[in-house]
Homo-oligomer: A and B are copies of this chain.
Amino acid sequence: MTTTTSRPTEGTPWRSAEVAPLSDETLARVDGWWRAANYLSVGQIYLLANPLLREPLTRDDVKPRLLGHWGTTPGLNFLYAHLNRAIVEREQSTIYITGPGHGGPGLVANTYLEGTYSEVYSDVTQDTEGMRRLFRQFSFPGGIPSHVAPETPGSIHEGGELGYALSHAYGAAFDNPDLLVAAVVGDGEAETGPLATSWHSNKFVNPVNDGVVLPILHLNGYKIANPTILGRISDDELRDLMIGYGHTPYFFTGGFDGEDHAEVHRRFAVLLDEVLNHIAQIKADAAAGNDERPFWPMIVFRTPKGWTGPKEIDGKKTEDSWRSHQVPLASARDTPEHLQDLKDWLDSYRVHELFDDEGRLDADIAQLAPRGTLRMSDNPHTNGGLLLKDLRLPDFRDYAVEVSAPGGGMSEATRVLGQWLTDVVRLNPDNFRIFGPDETASNRLQAVYEVTDKQWNADFFGPDVDEHLARAGRVMEMLSEHQCQGWLEGYLLTGRHGLFSCYEAFIHIIDSMFNQHAKWLKVTNDIPWRRPIASLNYLLSSHVWRQDHNGFSHQDPGFIDHVVNKKAEIVRVYLPPDANTLLSTYDHVLRSRQYVNVVVAGKQPAPNFLTMDQAIAHCARGLGIWEWAGTEVPGEDPDVVLACAGDVPTLETLAAADLLRRHLPELKVRVVNVVDLMRLQDEKEHPHGLSDRDFDTLFTTDRPVVFAYHGYPWLIHRLTYRRNGHENIHVRGYKEEGTTTTPFDMVMLNDLDRFHLVIDVIDRVPALGSKAAGLRQKMVDARLEARQYTREHGEDIPSVRDWVWPDAGDTATEGSGPSYDAAAATGGDNE
């Protein structure tokens, strides 16, 4: 693998070529390559030894556990061979997305034939011994996975979980105007929801500034045990479907009824040239100023499942059926006739024509491969870290809100962030994008529209309704979290930067996609030739505490819990309590590499607590004591610790601290705020973890800790489980308690409100004795009053709503309204 950080040689992209029949010489190369790739694929699935079949095939040459998937592989190999022919002729930078990722043996085989595999894995040489290792390692203990995994050169897509081939492909194509992304979609995968909507990506891609995705629907007709839907509708319906999706479908059917392979090659080569010329024409038209949305070509590629494999096994149809899905001759080791079938199958590829006695690929066949980085397996876009450039980040300090005193001034944190992001967009016009499902403005980032637009290549209706829509822009909005996530993953994996702005509750829609990406990052950390890529950054706003418009169905803070199940080396969770901490946090996450960063931040007006200098120091520590909020005596342990994480919990905690200070001035209260949630964990469990000594210093080992937390309370217990004094930690968080429409009512519903926090303190500091009993009752009464007021007036009681930190000074100097605002009702807010 080359390690250059320069952009790849793109050749002369989008070159047209004459559509002519394959020469016999080229045909022989293509077919030879295909047979070689098929042979190597079968070899990987079945063989432990005897890779060139120079000895008679015996039982012991066969792996004891046969694991893998044959069915999709010959089709993938066929396409790879034909793309190679075209890449060489057109010098077209191309990458290959394998939707049916379990066709791993095929992709490994092709990268081996191209030489790339041996370049990155020096022990898997291009000779007999290397081939033996190649075969043995596949789906073998200590070897490589059976999918197109991070270990596979040329891959940005594992295909383990189906549905994201096209999203990844388009993500790779954005801002890569010279790149062709050949994206094979399995017809099984085509049944998934995410894939079904991802066809519409063609309304977002820009024909001038972005690359081209060529979807190839691999219609081999069967899944594990069923036919596929798209394989069992008429060609007319399928054609209508693809045209309806905005494509020009090119249909290809080959390999059935014993069709001669040479004929199949000839026909497909013509079709591929027509398709690539069509693309070249669209590109040329677009460059010439035609801004009509093109009906991009796509290919319907119908070939038999398990093509070239056993036609029948034990009298049951195998080729062209679901019985080819995995390992057709599973008992080859123990059934002599199946062993013979396997031998016949392997022999059918005429291995002696493909490799010499040393296991070297025939020199003429090898000519089919492009050179250097034009090899799809060596295209730098598939090892995005090679191309990654640092973002040019404006100094976030310049975007700080003024905070004359803690609690002085109000801001909508995400709106402030939006100002900074505006300049991030301005300074990085071609390698940074913001993704979100129709919520960029709802999440208050609309300042970015001063310098960019939402990219949209469907119809326009005019400026009175199409605000901030344009054929090119840095903001990508489609009402599909799957698409946003998939696009962003593809964009990051090819060496760019971005963020995903989403409602907190609905980020669960991509739980499983996060899993797959986190696993990809974890594995790549251990692959030396894979270079680090930019982190996947979430901005979760419209969070669980402010679903006034929508209520219960829009509440779920559990994505954090989900994320924390993944390896500590990969995940980071931040809960900045105000605008300046959010700025500091986001500057940090946009600089980071190889993480998934989850940042949860509110969009509603809320008090500013920290000056920018304080915010920077606080974020650098990740958590810390807010001395100004507490009442402790220097050098003494406090009586109680009020801890908080998240903007709403922080507000309630400070209001509780204010109540305690006024009513129980002798009580020594410490306030600890947590920005970086992983700091709570043990340093042995997470790289950000605090040492026990530091933890004890902050939280004490024996004083009650009342912890107000943004999410489900259990996570705090989980993170602090092994800490000294963890049994003293009492957590208030989200309790799944249903719906309400005012902010304070919501925190009351979950017992996270200031009054309840005071009661928690009183109940946990027995030394307060009877003098606190009156205050306790006062708190109970205050809650009741607040709730009654809300039920009567439909808004929160002013004494709560308008509360500000007592030392805040003139709150009107900065910001935009009361702490619980009417802005929530200004429309354009929530789904």
Residue ranges of A at the interface with B (Cβ–Cβ < 8 Å): 48, 63-69, 101-102, 139-143, 145-147, 149, 158, 160-163, 188-189, 191-198, 200, 203, 222-229, 232-234, 237-246, 316-317, 320-323, 325-328, 330-331, 334, 438-442, 454, 456, 458-461, 464-467, 469, 477-483, 505-506, 508-509, 511-512, 515-516, 519, 522-523, 548-554, 556, 558, 561-562, 565-567, 712, 714, 717-718, 721, 736, 738-742, 745, 790-791, 793-795, 822, 824-831
Contact = CB atoms under 8 A, between A and B. Distances in A.
Given A192-B481, A225-B438, A226-B438, 5 more contacts: A69-B549, A163-B193, A225-B828, A233-B458, A505-B512
A228 B829 CA distance: 17
A223 B160 CA distance: 33
10 contacts: A66-B825, A102-B550, A139-B741, A141-B794, A160-B550, A224-B441, A227-B466, A326-B830, A327-B826, A519-B736
A482 B227 contact: no
A328 to B, nearest CB: 7
A107 to B, nearest CB: 15
Nearest to A519: B552
A243 B464 CA distance: 33
Given A102-B831, A140-B741, A465-B222, A229 B317 contact: no
Nearest to A63: B794
Contacts of A69: 549
Nearest to A464: B317
A717 B712 contact: no
A188 B481 CA distance: 12
B794 A140 contact: yes
A570 to B, nearest CB: 9
A149 to B, nearest CB: 8
Given A192-B197, A244-B243, A548-B65, A442 B224 contact: yes
A826 B67 CA distance: 9
A736 B477 contact: no
Contacts of A721: 714, 717, 721
Contact of A224 (B63, B192, B438): B438
Contacts of A321: 464-465
A328 B829 CA distance: 12
Contacts of A825: 65-67, 327, 330
Contacts of A458: 227, 229, 232-233
Contact of A438 (B188, B323, B516): B188
A438 B829 CA distance: 40
Contact of A553 (B161, B191, B229): B161
A740 B141 contact: yes
Nearest to A549: B67
Nearest to A197: B196
A550 B147 contact: yes
Contacts of A828: 224-225, 322-323, 325-326
A515 B556 contact: yes
Nearest to A440: B225
- Listed residue (A226, A240, A320) with the most chain B CB atoms within 10 angstroms of its CB: A226
Nearest to A142: B791
A330 B548 CA distance: 14
B193 A482 contact: yes
Contacts of A147: 550-551, 553
Q: How many identical chains are in the complex?
A: 2
- Listed residue (A327, A461, A482, A550) with the most chain B CB atoms within 10 angstroms of its CB: A550
A469 B321 CA distance: 14
A223 B438 contact: yes
A567 to B, nearest CB: 5
Contact of A554 (B160, B326, B508, B740): B160
Given A438-B224, A458-B233, A479 B188 contact: yes
A196 B548 CA distance: 29
B67 A793 contact: no
Contacts of A322: 465, 828
A142 B714 CA distance: 28
A246 B145 CA distance: 38
Contacts of A506: 161, 512
Contacts of A198: 193
A461 B232 contact: yes
A399 to B, nearest CB: 23
B323 A827 contact: yes
A783 B558 CA distance: 37
Contacts of A243: 237, 240-241, 244
Given A229-B200, A794-B63, A742 B141 contact: yes
A115 B794 CA distance: 27
Nearest to A454: B226
A505 B456 CA distance: 35
A330 B226 contact: no
A149 B554 CA distance: 12
Contact of A65 (B145, B327, B794): B794
Given A160-B550, A225-B442, A712-B565, A827 B193 contact: no
A30 B467 CA distance: 36
Contacts of A227: 456, 458, 461, 465-466, 469
A292 to B, nearest CB: 11
A316 B515 CA distance: 44
B162 A479 contact: yes
Given A482-B193, A553-B147, A553-B160, A827 B718 contact: no
A160 B741 CA distance: 15
B548 A739 contact: no
Contacts of A477: 225-226
B191 A193 contact: no
A331 B465 CA distance: 21
Contacts of A317: 464-465
Contacts of A516: 553
A282 to B, nearest CB: 17
Contacts of A712: 565
Nearest to A200: B229
- In the A-B complex, the 5 residue pairs with the closest CB atoms: A160-B553, A241-B244, A193-B193, A196-B197, A240-B244
- Listed residue (A198, A323, A479) with the most chain B CB atoms within 10 angstroms of its CB: A479
A553 B742 contact: no
Contacts of A226: 438, 454, 456, 469, 477, 479
